[in-house]
Amino acid sequence: MADQTPAQAPKAQILSFPFRRTGMGGFDDVAILSFRTKRPVKSILWTSRSGNHGKRLYRLFPGKYILYKVWRSNSGNLYCNISIIRITEEGQEIEKEWEIVRGKEQKLQLTDLPKNIQEILAANKEELPLFRSVFLLNVEEE
């Protein structure tokens, strides 16, 4: 009789990102959305006692995800990058990245992104930090 070994479950990767929310308006955060479920992935947020600094942790299984990274300086300059990342058992790699906003300069709009990414982001706009500031438009009007 042949040996039958149970299938190994895929190993998850833990990703950590800085979190910041200052009284001066500074803000750093990340949201990860799954291509499979088209919803944000649940995360754990660890913060300092003041709640102003910390890190956001994601436990991701192998697959493709959208990484929505946004940060705002204390002076009000806004930055946002959106990436497609692939998680494997060996680690992560960025497949494609778009710079949406840099400082006061709008580089891309939501409509400049691939259609499937536009739909996922627009469907989850209420859960994405600073979404309306990043895309400078009222999405309901589209």
Task: Give a yes or no: residue 77 inside a domain.
Answer: yes
Q: What is the pTM of this model?
A: 0.87
Q: Using the Cα atoms of residue 128, residue 113, residue 111 and residue 70 in order, give the sign of their dihedral.
A: positive
Q: What CATH number is associated with residue 117?
A: 2.60.40
Length of the chain: 142
- Identify the domain containing residue 64 by its residue range: 13-133
Task: Give a yes or no: residue 140 inside a domain.
Answer: no
Per-residue pLDDT of the chain (142 residues; tens, 9 = 90+): 555 556 677 788 999 999 999 988 899 999 999 999 999 999 999 999 988 999 999 999 999 999 999 999 999 899 999 999 999 988 889 999 999 999 999 999 999 999 999 999 999 999 999 999 999 754 444 4
